[in-house]
Chain A
Amino acid sequence: MKQGILWAALILVGLGSAPVALAAGAEELVRTECAACHALERPDYEALGIQERIDRKGPPLYYAGNKFQPEWLESWLQNPTRLRPAGIFPAAAVKESEEFDVIDPDKLIEHPALTAEQASEVATYLMSLRHHDDLIAANTYEPGTIAKRMGQLNFSKFNGCDACHSDEPGYGGLSGPELYTAWQRLQPAFIASFIADPVAWDPHTLMPKSGLNEGAVARLTNYLKLIGEEQP
């Protein structure tokens, strides 16, 4: 509702000044419609303690410009499909069953969708949030190749990534984001940097910091490239 009025107002401002007004409107829209669930500035993790992770309603966006592929971002905002099978905080989205904990669909949200025009402006605004230029600059990953079988072994048997992530629809763990689409969604340097040190990106991440060396990180990233490029 509020959103509709905002955009109507922006359209009334007139076509000539529209691009500027829309950019400002995008920031306003994100602050009013998205900030309740997404951090737009770095939270004071140290002061908030682990309660910050328990209370978190959506992934942090204050480094969106260091993380996402802009084309993917624009299109996902219009058609937000689920990326994390068990939502942002798995412990709150599962329930006990006879055999093991299962996802309770009632506890997962439907993500708000934007119009094409909103999505384009919001994506541009989000791409300007680059709190972690430092981590990207420090990353040295160069895309390369890996044989699929070797990649699979690295992902599962050697490093246990499949405990929490799927590398194929319907296969793998459920507590982390799907990774067969990582390459379309995410910047290569982000992927490599996050695998090497997820805690540097998010002090309260649920992903263990494995301490893998550069070669091992590159092999895993190349595997995500390989399977990502196989996706339609």
Chain B
Amino acid sequence: MKKSLLMAATLALGCIPLAYADDVARGEKLYNVYCVQCHGLSGHGDGVNVPALSVQPRNHHDTAEMTARSDEELFKAVKHGGKSINKSVLMPAWGGNLDDDDIHALVSHMRNLCCRNGE
């Protein structure tokens, strides 16, 4: 609902609305705290823990892989962990640490990385 309103607003204004930019900024901050340990400072799936991981963390700049996932799937992977989408347990479940708004903000940030040239 909220999202379709947002989309409508985006189309109407022809630019990224402020609320979305806020969400991305918040998501980026959370990403830098929780996710970079595995996904890397740059989000390329190359964090400091990578040598210890038997499965490579997702490169969040990989447009093809990331667009193959809906926002709902990304949300689920973050909230309930890799296992919930038949992926590795090495992708933890963050639902006990982060609330739904936090996770939506993270999804916005990942969308920015993969698909809005968030280099």
CB–CB B97/A209 < 8 A = yes
- Chain B interface category by residue count: 20 to 34
14 A–B pairs (Cβ distance < 8 Å), ordered by A = A50-B33, A54-B32, A90-B48, A91-B37, A100-B48, A100-B50, A160-B89, A160-B90, A162-B52, A173-B48, A199-B96, A204-B33, A205-B97, A211-B93
CB–CB A174/B49 < 8 A = yes
- Which B residues from 12 to 61 make CB contacts under 8 A with A? 29-30, 32-34, 36-38, 40-42, 46-53
Residues of chain B lying within 8 A (CB to CB) of residue A204: 33
Minimum Cβ distance to chain A for residue B52 (Å): 4
Contact of B33 among A54, A159, A211 (CB under 8 A): A54
3 smallest CB-CB distances across A and B, nearest first, come from: A209-B96, A208-B92, A175-B37
CA distance A175 to B40 in the complex (A): 12
CB–CB B41/A91 < 8 A = yes
Q: For chains A and B in complex, what number of residue pairs have CB atoms within 8 angstroms? A: 98
Minimum Cβ distance to chain B for residue A82 (Å): 15
Minimum Cβ distance to chain B for residue A220 (Å): 14
CB–CB B48/A101 < 8 A = yes
Minimum Cβ distance to chain B for residue A4 (Å): 38
CA distance A53 to B36 in the complex (A): 14
Residues of chain B lying within 8 A (CB to CB) of residue A86: 37, 48
A157-178 CB mask vs B (1 if < 8 Å, else 0) is 1111011101000011111000
Residues of chain A lying within 8 A (CB to CB) of residue B30: 50
A210 within 8 A of B: yes
Please report A residues at the B interface, Cβ cutoff 8 Å.
Answer: 50, 53-54, 86, 90-91, 94-96, 99-103, 157-160, 162-164, 166, 171-175, 197, 199, 204-206, 208-211
Main secondary structure of the interface of B (DSSP, over half): loop
Residues of chain B lying within 8 A (CB to CB) of residue A208: 81, 92-94, 96-97
Minimum Cβ distance to chain A for residue B77 (Å): 13
Residues of chain A lying within 8 A (CB to CB) of residue B49: 163-164, 173-175
Contact of B89 among A91, A100, A158 (CB under 8 A): A158
CA distance A175 to B52 in the complex (A): 11
Chain B residue nearest to A171 in the complex (CB): B52
Chain B residue nearest to A164 in the complex (CB): B49
Residues of chain A lying within 8 A (CB to CB) of residue B48: 86, 90, 94, 100-103, 173-175
CB–CB B47/A101 < 8 A = yes
CB–CB B52/A172 < 8 A = yes
Minimum Cβ distance to chain B for residue A142 (Å): 25
CA distance A84 to B42 in the complex (A): 22
**Given A160-B90, A172-B52, are A100 and B46 neighbors across the interface (CB < 8 Å)?**
yes
CB–CB A163/B52 < 8 A = yes
Residues of chain A lying within 8 A (CB to CB) of residue B36: 90-91, 94, 101
Minimum Cβ distance to chain B for residue A130 (Å): 24
CA distance A186 to B94 in the complex (A): 25
Chain B residue nearest to A51 in the complex (CB): B29
CA distance A90 to B50 in the complex (A): 13
**Given A96-B41, A172-B52, A206-B37, are A211 and B90 neighbors across the interface (CB < 8 Å)?**
no
